[in-house]
A = this chain, B = another copy of it.
Amino acid sequence: MKTQEYYLIINTKQTIMTTQEVANRYYELIKQNKRAEIQEELYGKDIVNREPEHAASMGIPIVTIGLDAVKAKGKARMEMIEAVHSDYCSEPVVGGNFFSVAFGRDITLKGKPRMKLEEIAVFGVKDGKIVSEQFFY
């Protein structure tokens, strides 16, 4: 009886998305309101989220670090929403390792009057993942 050794070679070549590709995929998913999928598919585990300083007075943390913390923050925010009457996201603009979009929402938060929210968001991309997000409103 003869033992023969085999070598299994697996090609692990991985395609890393460019910033433009990440921005395009983000836009594709946000238009379908697939926010959870955006986080699962595109966010890096060490994502850094930044809100404007004046948001602290609304009980919103200014800096949130890590995918789990950012997910929890998003979930808490979703639970505050009574109804989204309409929303939009502009096409992303790409510059180097960053892309930017404008968001608008006609929204009613629980126990609050209906209001319109508009903001600019800037996302940082590294190795095909979103590693930072900063909101301006």
Question: Chain B residues near A91 (CB, 8 Å)?
Answer: 93
Question: Chain B residues near A97 (CB, 8 Å)?
Answer: 136-137
Task: Give, as a whole number of angstroms, the nearest-CB distance from A6 to chain B.
Answer: 47
- The verdict on A120 contacting chain B, using a C-beta distance below 8 Å, is yes
State A90–B121 Cα separation when bound (angstroms): 16
Given contacts A120-B122, A122-B136, A136-B122, contact A93 B98 (CB under 8 A): no
> Is B99 a contact partner of A95 (Cβ separation < 8 A)?
no
Neighbour of A98 across the interface among B94, B96, B117, B136, CB < 8 A: B136
B-binding residues in A (CB < 8 A): 90-91, 93-104, 117-122, 124, 134, 136-137
